[in-house]
Amino acid sequence: MTTPKLDVKGVPAGEDAAMYLNSLSDQRAVGAYMTFFLSTVGIPPDDPETVELVRIRNAVAQACEY
Amino acid sequence: MTWLPLDRNAPSERDAVLGLYPEAYARHREFLEATTAATDAELLELCKARMAQLLRCREELARHSPERLAELESWERSSSFTGTERAALLFVEQFVLDPTLVSREMVGDLEAELGTTGVINFTTALAAHEASLRLSTLLDLAPAG
């Protein structure tokens, strides 16, 4: 179970906490983020493994459990 | 001046650098605009100035008056800021320095001012603009115009 700092219900293990958070967010902002994210796919180094490695490294550095 | 070799005829260094990938740059601008529209624009502007100070982002710092920046440097001792602004500034400083140390109390204080959805949208806007400022600092982008 996640323990959010906000006054929202926790998310049980196995459920997608990010999707839940997105559902509470401004939908235009969420949509704009997804469109931006997709537009960056293919930008050099365009190597999914390297990008994933950097993403994981960032998550570790910032203690991002998700 | 950025260290990237670029066409000096572009309207601004930001346009020259991020415009190397026009599609991603356009979508990035739309994302920033959408997050700004989803929150209190004046509060976000104040927090962007504080983030720029913490990140030493000269592109953003140039958009604010020296007087305003001096006041922001010591906002905790200033009586010029409202309760909402003070809760936001405390939150944003910790957000930039180490988000894992943003406490429940900090979030609760901000939530009392903005509401739950307000905090979520404000944080989304902060994250978007902070990334943009970090990128600007990393690339040493010159102020526009």
Residue ranges covered by each domain of chain B: 13-139
Residue A41 above 80 pLDDT?
yes
Per-residue pLDDT of chain B (145 residues; tens, 9 = 90+): 667 767 677 788 899 889 889 999 999 999 999 999 999 999 999 999 999 999 999 999 999 999 999 999 999 999 999 999 999 999 999 999 998 899 999 999 999 999 999 999 999 999 999 999 999 999 999 998 7
Q: What is the model's pLDDT at position A16?
A: 78
| Alpha helix (H) residue ranges in A1-66 | 17-24, 27-40, 48-61
Q: Which of B114, B124, B132 to mutate to test the interface with A (most CBs of A within 10 A)?
A: B124
The Cα of A26 is separated from the nearest Cα of chain B by a number of Å equal to 6
Of the two residues B20 and A61, the one the predictor is more confident about is B20
Of the two residues A6 and B51, the one the predictor is more confident about is B51
Q: Who's near A49: CB < 8 A, 6+ residues apart? A: none
ipTM for this model: 0.84
Q: Which value, to the nearest 10 degrees, does the dihedral of the CA atoms of residues A58, A62, A63, A64 take?
A: -70
A18–B contact, CB cutoff 8 A: no
A27–B contact, CB cutoff 8 A: no
Q: What is the model's pLDDT at position B73?
A: 95
The Cβ of residue B54 has, within 10 Å, a number of other Cβ atoms equal to 15
Q: Who's near B65: CB < 8 A, 6+ residues apart? A: none
> Cβ of A6 and B125 within 8 Å?
no
> Cβ of A62 and B102 within 8 Å?
no
Residue A66 above 80 pLDDT?
no
Q: Which CATH architecture has domain B13-139?
A: Up-down Bundle (1.20)
Q: What is the model's pLDDT at position A2?
A: 64
Size of interface A-B (CB pairs under 8 A): 73
What are the angstrom distances between the C-alpha of A59 and each of A25, A47, A56, B2, B144?
A: 22, 18, 5, 28, 33
Chain A partners within 8 Å of B24 (Cβ): 36, 39-40, 43
The Cα of A22 is separated from the nearest Cα of chain B by a number of Å equal to 9
Q: Which amino acid is at B104?
A: R
Q: What is the model's pLDDT at position B56?
A: 97
Q: What is the model's pLDDT at position A1?
A: 63
Q: A62, A16, A3: which is closest to B127 by C-alpha?
A: A62
Cβ pair B69, B53 in contact under 8 A:
yes
